[in-house]
Structure 1
Amino acid sequence: MEAAHAEEIHLRHVEKDVLIPKMMREKAKERCAEKVEAFNLCCKESGFLMPFKCREENAVLKECLTLHYRDPAFFEECKQEYIKEKLEFERTGIRSNHRTQKLPTSM
Structure 2
Amino acid sequence: MVPEKAQERCSKQVQDFSRCCKESGILMVVTCQKENSALKECLMPYYKDPAFHAAGKMEHLRKREELRKTGIPIKKRLWKLPTWKYSNDAQ
Verify same fold: TM over 0.5. yes
Alignment root-mean-square deviation, CA: 1.5
SS of residue paired to 2:73: coil
- Highest CA radius of gyration, 1 or 2? 2
SS of equivalent residue, structure 1 residue 67:
helix
- After superposition, residues 1-107 of structure 1 pair within 5 angstroms as 23-97=1-75
Aligned residues: percent identity?
Answer: 47
Q: Distance in 1 between matches of 2:25 and 2:68?
A: 46
Give the length in aligned residue pairs: 76
**2:65 & 2:25 partners in 1: Cα distance?**
45
SS across alignment from 1:94: coil
Give the stretch that moved more between structures: 55-64 or 89-98. Answer: 89-98
Q: CA deviation at 1:57?
A: 0.5
Partners of 1:65 and 1:46 in 2: how far apart?
Answer: 22
1:41-97 CA-partner distances (Å, limit 9, x unpaired):
112222333222211100111122221111111101101101111111121111111
Unaligned runs of 5+ in 2: 77-91
Amino acid aligned to 1:50: M
The alpha carbon displacement at 1:38 in A equals 0.3
Shift, 1:30, TM fit: 1.6
- The alignment's TM-score, normalised by the length of structure 1, stands at 0.64
